[in-house]
Amino acid sequence: MKNIYNILIPLSFVGLWVTSMVSKEIEVILGFILIFTFGILHGANDILLIDTISNNKKTYPFIRVLITYLLTVFIAVVIFYFFPLLALILFIVFSAFHFGQQHWEHKELETSVMIKNIYYFLYGMVVLNILFIFNATEVIEVVTSITNFELEKITIKISLIVSGSLLFLLALFIANTSKFFKSYILIELFYLIIFSIIFKVSSLIWGFTIYFILWHSIPSLYEQVLFIYGNFNKKNLLRYCKTAFPYWIISIIGILIVYSIFRDDKLFYAIFFSFIAAVTFPHTLVINKLFSNKKTQSN
């Protein structure tokens, strides 16, 4: 995993170079392309992950797993339709925990599960809030289009201050009990500086894309391939992509239909983030189960 992060740093600066070379409109197009390929691909194999995690395939036959997964997505869509503000808050909470867990799970924190989970959430919230504060105008427009709620920039600032302060205090607590955690502090601060620079100079979509693809989706793909096939190599990566391809195609068709309907309307952004959120909810639960299963196998 460490080698992957070493590669992500120069790739992030390539993303910054792209920002200086193309217009904001091109950034958005490139962002959507990457999100619809690598981004959706990394979550397209949830059904296979559930099947792999299950110790008793007769207890969880494929059709039951598929129906349960689709039902979860459907419920998320319904919540977004009838209670958009609640759904958006839940999306941010789930995403924050999911991003934080993916980033920190392979690191030894030497603390309780509850403290780890709180730390994962706070770390993810800090990353998201940095993205939001540097793109406040775009964020406010998206929130308004989804919920009709008038979000204010001061709210984003307060959220960043609160989450950042709590993360700092919790980091101090963990540092007192975990010798390994102390060795991560400087490099993790460096990562946050990189994220801040990217979010500062990029548009909302491009900044999110760089983080989501490079710092989340690629490490997640690595973890998933390793978990499913026992080894990460080109052959197993191709096997993973082949299995995920049908689900990826279905997702792409769905979002293209949405785009064909709303391409001249700012509502498209609302639909897009709602779509991502609906897939994020079950995906977060599946990945959390994956990490729990890995711990059980290693004990």
Q: pLDDT over 70 for what percent of the chain?
A: 80
In this prediction, residue 210 carries a pLDDT of: 92
Alpha-carbon separation of residue 205 from 24, 123, 168 (angstroms): 9, 20, 28
Flag whether pLDDT at 97 surpasses 80.
yes
Dump pLDDT digits (tens) for 132-173: 999 999 999 888 888 888 899 999 999 999 999 999 999 999
- Taking alpha carbons only, the member of 34, 188, 33, 182 closest to residue 122 is 188
User: Is residue 127 a contact partner of residue 211, using CB atoms and an 8 Å limit?
Assistant: yes
Whether the predicted model's global pTM rises above the 0.75 cut: yes
- Cβ within 8 Å of residue 152, ≥6 positions away: 140
* End-to-end Cα spacing for the chain: 20
Q: How confident is the model at residue 99 (pLDDT cuts 50, 70, 90)?
A: very high
The Cα 284–Cα 271 span in angstroms is 20
- Of 68-72, 76-80, 212-216, the range with the lowest mean pLDDT is 68-72
